[in-house]
Structure 1
Amino acid sequence: MIEVVSLIDAAPPRVFDLELDMDVHAGSLPGSQETATTSTGRRQLALGDEVTFHARHLGLNWQMTSRISAYEPPYHFVDEQVRGPFRALRHEHHFEDLGDGGTRMTDRMSIHAPLGPLGAMVTRLLLAPYLSRLLRQRAIHIKRLAENVDRRR
């Protein structure tokens, strides 16, 4: 299980919406050349929507389709791989209202690679640290966008 916790000086609805925006998602990892195509054509995901990601990671081209399987705005949503390179991938997004206009954003990701014990070793030594770095990078991007809102409105 990978877990990344971020404190963001913005309300949960703002952070929640940014996390479900596929343009924001793709922009958070410029080095991966990531694109996201949604099943609905909308950039903002909701319950049941699917999104297919194309990206370059670890020197390889990857394609993965995930579905939003749980959706409780503005506090929680889950995306799960329905097609892709992993035996299973589940990514939980939690947004806790800190009561002062801030949010504790927690990403929890569980991944299971194919190839049994070999896949488990590759996950532990390579994939988990790499995905943890990606989640931290994405969280920094979300934090920057969420906190740079014109608060006079």
Structure 2
Amino acid sequence: MPVIRQQLYMEAPPELCFDLSRSIDMHMDSMAHTGERAVGGRVGGLIELGETVTWEAVHFGIRQRLTARITEMNRPHRFVDEMVNGAFRRFYHEHRFEAQGSGTLVTDTFDYTSPLGLLGQLADRIFLEAYMKGLLGRRNELIKQRAEARAAGTPLAEGAGSDTRSRP
């Protein structure tokens, strides 16, 4: 059962990083390459404590659904989402936001167990863990771009994750 831990410094206040990290719209933008979209529960805006979101996406050529619930929240320092239903046997995803200097150190810890026992463990070693690291990294880089642009009062450039929907 892999535990993926990523840290990224963002030159933006914790409140902004926190809200972008729990934005359903932001998440869909960061996963556009998988066709991921919210199809149940909270489907837009900022997800709150106790709420669920059901995601639908194509991973490894297979359309999948996954439902996660926000089980802990202490704005703007930390929140946790946990899988309720989906392809994993389980997952626990903790998001931490620590003010540092003029910005925020964002720490993502994704602790999961693949399905299918030994076969799932083999999949983790061969491709799944690296795939998940890439998804989390891509998401956090887009959050960083948006947070830093907003903190600086700079409009986002094309290709930097800009779109026409309203954002937190």
Q: Normalising by structure 2, what TM-score?
A: 0.85
> Structure 2: which 5+ runs fail to align?
154-168
Q: What corresponds to 2:137 in structure 1?
A: 136
Q: What corresponds to 1:63 in structure 2?
A: 65
> Structure 1: which 5+ runs fail to align?
none
Q: What corresponds to 1:108 in structure 2?
A: 109
| Aligned-partner Cα distance in 2 for 1:143–1:120 | 32
Output aligned runs, 1:4-153, within 5 Å: 4-37=6-39, 39-40=41-42, 43-98=45-100, 100-149=101-150, 151=152
Shift in Å at residue 151 of structure 1? Answer: 3.9
Distance change >3 Å, CA 141–CA 115, structure 1 → 2: same
Distance change >3 Å, CA 142–CA 150, structure 1 → 2: closer
Shift in Å at residue 101 of structure 1? Answer: 2.3
Percent of pairs with identical residues: 36
| Aligned-partner Cα distance in 2 for 1:5–1:41 | 27
| Aligned-partner Cα distance in 1 for 2:55–2:96 | 22
Distance change >3 Å, CA 140–CA 40, structure 1 → 2: closer
Distance change >3 Å, CA 2–CA 40, structure 1 → 2: closer
AA paired with 1:108?
T
Distance change >3 Å, CA 27–CA 86, structure 1 → 2: same
AA paired with 1:148?
A
Distance change >3 Å, CA 30–CA 42, structure 1 → 2: closer
Shift in Å at residue 150 of structure 1? Answer: 5.8
| Aligned-partner Cα distance in 2 for 1:137–1:48 | 26
